[in-house]
Amino acid sequence: MKIQESAENYLEAILMLGRSGAPVRSVDIAEELGFSRPSVSVAMKNLRAAGHVEIDAEGYVTLTERGCEIAQTMYERHVLISDWLIFLGVERGAAVRDACRLEHYMSEESFLAIKRHIENWKSEIYQQRS
């Protein structure tokens, strides 16, 4: 069962919303992603069936271990890519919008290569300055 882009986005949104500590409801996810409540409702049903989230009696959504792993991968990529684009001079809004899409279409290999590149690049700059 291959995970889809949309599923990855939902999981990432749930992770981000949960970081404040407040419980996450369907309507919060809909608000965050700009989707309708029915869309989120159906998506949650599918994510639950796939074992990526759990939904308690109050309707609060939590990530399972598997779901959390995916969400964190996406989040890490999102941050790396958007920070990096911003660093390259891309306007923040555009950088975040692009990162939101690019994060889903990059192999692990490419992601790691970029990460490595940024780290090397930063340490070079650091050496030049010291």
Partner DNA sequence: CACTTATGTTAGCACAAACTAACATGCTTG
Partner DNA sequence: CAAGCATGTTAGTTTGTGCTAACATAAGTG
Catalog residues that contact a copy of itself under the rule CB under 8 A. 85, 88-91, 94-95, 97-98, 101-102, 105-107, 109-110, 113-114, 116-117, 121
Our finding on whether 9 is near DNA (CB under 7 A) is: yes
Q: Tokens 């970029």 identify what position?
A: 114
Based on its alpha-carbon atoms, the radius of gyration of the chain, rounded to whole angstroms, reads 17
User: Which residue from 16, 32, 54, 55 is in contact with DNA, where contact means CB under 7 A?
Assistant: 55
Q: Compare residues 22 and 125 and give the one whose CB is closer to a copy of itself.
A: 125
| End-to-end CA gap in the chain | 50
Distances (CA, A) of 66 to 92, 94, 101, 114: 31, 30, 21, 25
Our finding on whether 62 is near DNA (CB under 7 A) is: no
CB of residue 92 to a copy of itself, shortest distance in Å: 11
Q: Which amino acid is at 2?
A: K
User: Which residue from 19, 22, 27, 117 is in contact with DNA, where contact means CB under 7 A?
Assistant: 27
Q: How many CB atoms lie within 10 A of CB 75?
A: 18
